Amino acid sequence: MKNNKIKDKRVVFKLVDGVAESIYSVFDVFEAAVSVTSCPEITYRNGRYNSLADVTIPNSVTSIGNYAFRGCKLTSVTIPDSVTYIGENAFESCTSLASVTIPNGVTTIGDAAFEGCWALTSVTIPESMTTIGPGVFYGCRALTSVTIPNTVTSIGYSAFDSCTSLASITIPDSVTSIGDGAFCFCTSLESVTIPSSVTSIGDMAFSRCEALTSMRCMNWSRPST
């Protein structure tokens, strides 16, 4: 099998027997938009300084690799139902990203996948997810609404750290653990209810939540004397 490379004006494709198998690299600067037409995996790695503002991800894509769109100027992205994996830091520092649709087929969202998406205002975690990983939404300072399904059992460390606009959060009865600093520096968070299913809350999970006035722990019991 012979491997080759072909370049268009914006992206480098890896060719296997003349077929675009994957995108493995991009130039430092994107002009306007790129449309991926046939590719099972998106794996750009050096996009921090590019100006990519729009992307169409086709149904042939099943995996979005680590750092795929890091630092791009995307304003919205629709991830197709075919995608099951979103890699670490995949959309990190996409500071203009205000809207993202995560399909139900996604089973894994890598660490810090949406870290620093300052414009992101709401997100719905799909029911196919069981874990919200470390730092996934760290520093999403415009995030006001998060929907966590009752399939999620753990919220990783710093998952929502520094989401300074998040005023309320509903933790479903399925959750058993909340990691260190999970909601640290959520300075607008006013109330939270910890369900009875939770058996572990990490250090500083709600540290620096300066607006927090109400916390209900459904599993709390008076210490024996």
Q: What pLDDT, on the 0 to 100 scale, is given for residue 185? A: 97
Residue 221 has a pLDDT of 58
pLDDT digits (tens, 9 = 90+) for 151-183: 999 999 999 999 999 998 999 999 999 999 999
Segments of the chain scoring below 70 in pLDDT? 1-51, 220-225
Note the pLDDT of residue 72.
Answer: 85
pLDDT at 101: 87
Q: Where are the alpha helices (DSSP H) in 51-193?
A: none
pTM above 0.85, yes or no: no
How many Å apart are CA 208 and CA 200, to the nearest integer?
A: 19
What residues contact 183, with CB distance under 8 A and at least 6 apart? 159, 160, 161, 163, 166, 169, 189, 192, 205, 206, 209
